[in-house]
Amino acid sequence: MNRIIDGAHDGVRLDKCVKELFAVSWSTARSRIEAGKIFCDKKVATAPEQPMRRGVSLTYDADAPRPAARDDFDPACILYADSHVIVAVKPAGVVTTKVDEDERDTFLRRLRLHLAREKGPSRKRRGALPSLMTVHRLDKLTSGVLVFARSGVAMDGLSTQFKERTVTWTHLALVHGRCPAVTISSHIQEDRGDGLRGSSEHSRSKKVRRRAEGKPAVTRVEVVECLRNATLVACNFERGGGTNQLRVQLFEQGCPIVGDRTYLKGIRGEPINSLQLLVHANHLSFRHPVTGAPMSFAAPLPDYFEATLAQLRR
């Protein structure tokens, strides 16, 4: 099935083009893209936010194989490991764990494969990967520190700490404009009216806007540094609203994150160029779920994040 990008879709996101040109739902359009079923000029396209250009040939191939899972893993990303927990730094561009049953390349899988290799070839040949459980997640485009449970007692203990909000998990984000110190409280919903996540308070649907629908989300934002046309902020989730919480809330605050191609409209002046989303989970503190010992970990900013900060400081 083939379509040609017309003038009406010039500059429009890939997922929206797939939705409209192939007459499918938002979820179907994005699942086809993630599964490697969509091709632009015969090249597989897996970035939903990728802008299309007039004349590009857009193809849907239901029989196309899912892109092969990558096996690149840097052991230096592991900050701590014992028989109950592992703390590691996830790079941007890979999901934490499965978002659908066909998902193959996840940070959890890469970490388990690395642990299997450390155990020796006999375990790997049998296909028995070490047990590892996801306690919390980072969005695909976000880098930073995560803790994983290696035992049931660790999973229960860590889950309780997150539920009771005794964990400190800080994200650094570079945003456009002057962002004040503020606590943002809203209700995040799956579809704000155009297929994107957003809060009911800023929904494009008047029917939804009158009611507090969606998952409650509260983020405390503190100013770290004021830069040229930008602000470096530290963010803590006081209540989680799910995927893209930080991106949505900062955008609706009028300060979209640098590098965000989805939530960007309405900024004053030219956007700051960045090929990566500049948000990073740089600090995590909790109590060991078995020993009760306080634990604290820091993850340095990625090089591309530091480079953008250095440029703005000059």
Residues labelled catalytic: 139
To which residue do tokens 């998952």 refer? Answer: 215
Relative to beta strand 38-40, strand 57-60 is antiparallel
**Which letter does DSSP use for residue 9 in this model?**
G
**Number of CB atoms found within 10 A of residue 250's CB:** 26
Paired tokens of 232: 């470096």
With residue 204 as reference, give the H or E element that holds it. none
Paired tokens of 21: 């040109």
Taking CA atoms, 22 is separated from 16, 32, 122, in Å, by 10, 11, 48
Percentage helix, strand, coil for the chain under 3-state DSSP, each rounded to 5: 25, 30, 45
* DSSP character string of 237-267: EEE---TTHHHHHHHHTT-PBTT-SSS-TT-
| Among the listed residues 110, 84, 116, the one whose alpha carbon sits nearest the alpha carbon of residue 97 | 110
